[in-house]
Amino acid sequence: MIKYNLLLALRSLIKQRKYAFINIFGLALGLACFILITVWVKDELSYDRFHEDAENIHIVFRKHKDKRAAVSSKLLAPAIKNEVPEIAEATCFMQLPEAFKSTFEYKEKSFTELFALADLEFFKVFSFPLIRGEPDQIFKTPSYILISERASMKYFGTMDALDKNIFITVLGEKKLLTVKGIMKNIPHNSHIQTDIILPLEFMNQFGINWDVWYNQSPTTYIRTESNISIAQLEEKILACKQGHFLEEDLSYEVMPITKVHLNSSGVEYFTTTGDIKYIYIFSAIAAIILLIACMNYMNLSNALSLKRSREIGIRKAQGSRRIQIIQQFLGETFILVFIALALALVLVQLGLPLLNFIAGKSLTIEYTSFQFISIILLVAVLTSIVSGIYPALFASDFQPIQVLKGKFISSPQSAKVRQGLVVFQFVLSIVIIIVTITISNQLHFIQNIDLGYDKEHVVCVALRGDVSNDLEAFKNEILASGHVSKISRSGRIGVNTLSRTEGVNWPGKQDDFQTWVLHVDENYAETYGLEMAEGRFYSRDYSTDLSNGFVINQKAAMEMGFENPIGQQINVWGRQGTIIGITKDFHFSSLYNKIEPLLFRIPDPDQVNSRCSSLSMRIKPNSMPQSLNYIEEAWKSYFPAQSFDYYFMTDRLKVNYLSEARMGTLFKYSSIFVVLIACLGLYGLTAFNVEQKQKEIGVYKVMGAKASDVILLFLKGYFVRIILAALIAVPIAWYAMSQWLSNFAYRTELSWWIFVLAGLIALGIAMLTVSWQSWRAAMRNPVESLRYE
């Protein structure tokens, strides 16, 4: 029995190879997309789970008013470990920002790298496996250093790096370090990513004092007892903190590190590429793609079963039970799905590099792992059941008396189901097209919005260490060369590198006032093309500017509440001065946020190296490559020890929207696949209809119908269905997209043309698909089709 059904299934596959191909290919595409997205989702969900006791490791976020930040005082960790009984261990860890990129040297090998800082408790909380060294020794003195296998290979090759010396040049000073630990490379699914970790105390020698409650720099991680109440823990941490140092509007949020990767977007001083939103969205897309593929199968095999009605009739007349026919049809579906699955695995392997490119990952798939095999088998079985059950029920319901009489069964009911499925597929397709257009629209919008400054033609070079000796000469040379019109040394904007302070005071200050601080020199406004609203920017012509002048933006002026801000006395971090100018507001942060108060500050002379780690140059627009070359050459001759590490302002701004851009690309591909699969189904269905109506077409043609009349006959029905699909899709997409856009403080309109365009795209592609088939039918010689019977 099974053997016969198998044989029969294979023979009918071969006989109906056109439809079998469409079915298999559609299912394979659907399965491949589903598997790829699942692999990505699984990876996103796997973050930070490799630590022993991972569910009891938490990150402590500091919440001030509504802002969450991943920083706390260095004193918090030891204090809560001592005073809060639920906390077993606590550690401070800090990933230093770009500005602290430093040069590490071993003999002739020298690299510029980012590094991180940690305290002695680091290994009591985290379980990054050590290859060499003792966990309780590694951060014991400020000159010890922990490196990864990768870094060890880079600096020491195959040598044992333990106890080797390595030099670091940071903030212009060269220090000697000793390698006291080598750890395995941190897995890619860890939110902590670094190859080099130094003790927190290392920074003390640069006059940085973090052992105070009012400084918030490192991130605090804790390991707790099992099954504790997070809410109570947060209360106790707050109580402990307030006992040492009282702050208003403060609270703490404790989050398991297994959740950090996906739930921390928007947390200050924390970068994550993950977002739980995207997990939901793409899981839904994976399901939709697979569902559309299943619907293709349903539709096509439902239609094809009409062709097999005689076979079913005979079987029933011979005494086959309905359940046996259902088994037969489901069995055929299983065979088809498993062929499709094999093809899908090939597509997955081919598509993996694309996924990695889009998602910015380097995922691999362990095809032979038990987990992978059981997942794909489960998916295949589910797919078979979802796709196969309707056609099986439908076909097994044929009455032998009718089919054996040779009557053509048109079954208006099943035709309606098929039409309904086509409409549903196109609703989903159109929604996804609208989403894709809207996202790319918004990306275009934020990349082209008037930021309030001129971001074009600005090249920024990272400054490391002490460059004060040669910088003036360098600046003079390239200015004289004519390649560069303006140069400014400053902190960085456009990324989350600014600091925010409450330390601005003035007589009569009433409300709390917070402002971002940007360290600049007097050329900043000119270099970036900032416009002044009132007063003037810092200038060399006024000797007092550098020591006691302040420039703020309009928003800051407004929030300070001065009627006449120019000339007002304010005190910033203990430096008393006068407001000399107000710039027009400009977007110095990402467009998620409204413009906030900003204060420009000239750093104290001894802090220039650490505060202003970026050199911005406005290049003359028409000869960018040559100019860049020239600057690089000059840079190398002046600062041979420093790498020429540059970026264009426009590129740096894109980083802010990287995750949106990724999502945009993912949607672009998803929509291509969704539409492709839906059209594949439509193609098959039209082919079937054309076949069914061959005689009808023949008769029409004999009666004098033109080819266009025949094509129209087929187009008409689909035209109406796709318009209907568009009408259903538009409100759904409109709602979803207005929700998404509300994340942005600055956003495009959801204009009507997006919806019209999406509808037209779907309509156009569908009409092309249908026309191709019907055109061929229309061109056939009617005698041929009428000769049948």
Residues with Cβ < 8 Å from 562, sequence gap 6 or more? 568, 579
Stretch that binds other proteins, among 69-77, 214-222, 317-325, 552-560 (CB under 8 A): 317-325
- Work out how close the CB of 8 gets to other proteins at its nearest, in angstroms, rounded to a whole number: 5
Using CB under 8 A, pick the residue from 43, 311, 534, 645 that binds other proteins.
Answer: 311
Q: How far is CA 119 from CA 90, 93, 184, 200, in A?
A: 10, 7, 19, 6
What are φ and ψ of residue 544, in 5° steps?
A: -80, -20
Least gap, CB of 313 to other proteins (angstroms): 7
333 binds other proteins (CB under 8 A): no
In the list 30, 313, 388, 452, the residue contacting other proteins (rule: CB under 8 A) is: 313
User: Closest approach of Cβ 303 to other proteins, in Å?
Assistant: 18
CB of 393 to other proteins, least distance (A): 16
CA 60 vs CA 52, 80, 517, 549: distances in Å: 19, 11, 25, 38
Count Cα atoms within 13 angstroms, Cβ side, for 743.
15
Helix, strand or coil for residue 458?
strand
Q: What's the rounded Cα separation, in Å, for the pair 691 and 695?
A: 8
Which of 406, 508, 625, 640 is the binder for other proteins (CB under 8 A)?
Answer: 406
Q: Which residue stretch of 43-51, 307-315, 489-497, 734-742 sits at the interface with other proteins (rule: CB under 8 A)?
A: 307-315
Site map 173..192 versus other proteins, x via CB under 8 A: --------------------
Q: Does 327 bind other proteins (CB under 8 A)?
A: no
Q: Look up residue 362 and give its amino acid.
A: S
**For residues 330 and 310, what is the distance between their CA atoms, to the nearest angstrom?**
18
Residue pair 523/479 in contact (Cβ under 8 Å)? The answer is: no
Smallest distance, other proteins to C-beta of residue 10, A: 9
Quote the crossing angle between the two packed helices 276-307 and 322-359, to the nearest 10°.
140
Q: Measured from the CB of residue 370, what is the shortest distance to other proteins in angstroms?
A: 36
The stretch near other proteins (CB under 8 A) out of 8-16, 111-119, 250-258, 410-418 is 8-16
When binding is defined by CB under 8 A, the residue of 58, 68, 164, 315 that contacts other proteins is 315
Q: Select from 283, 320, 419, 485 the one that contacts other proteins (CB under 8 A).
A: 320
Task: Report the alpha-carbon distance of residue 110 to residue 702 in Å, rounded.
Answer: 85
Q: Which two tokens stand for residue 312?
A: 């079913």
- Binding residue for other proteins (CB under 8 A) from 239, 314, 350, 672? 314
CB nearer other proteins, residue 563 or residue 789: 789
Binding other proteins (rule: CB under 8 A), the pick from 226, 318, 371, 742 is: 318
- The Cα–Cα gap between 640 and 642 comes to 6
Interaction of residue 4 with other proteins, rule CB under 8 A: yes
Identity of the residue, 4 or 370, whose beta carbon is nearer to other proteins in the bound complex? 4
Counting residues that bind other proteins (by CB under 8 A) gives 25
Q: Are residues 759 and 675 in contact, defined by beta-carbon separation less than 8 angstroms? A: no
Number of residues in the chain = 789
> Which one-letter amino acid corresponds to residue 122?
F
Grouping H, G, I as helix, E, B as strand and the rest as coil, residue 471 is: helix
Q: Which is nearer to other proteins, 316 or 611 (CB)?
A: 316
CA 381 to CA 682: how far, in whole Å?
A: 24
239 vs 317, which CB is nearer to other proteins?
A: 317
Near other proteins in 365-404, by CB under 8 A: 399-401, 404
Tell which positions 15-44 bind other proteins, by CB under 8 A. 15
Least Cβ distance, residue 413 to other proteins (angstroms): 19
Is the distance from CB of 147 to CB of 98 less than 8 angstroms?
no
CA distances from residue 719 to 47, 60, 509, 763 in whole angstroms, order as listed: 47, 57, 67, 7
Contact positions vs other proteins (CB under 8 A): 1, 4, 7-8, 11-12, 15, 310-311, 313-321, 324, 399-401, 404-406
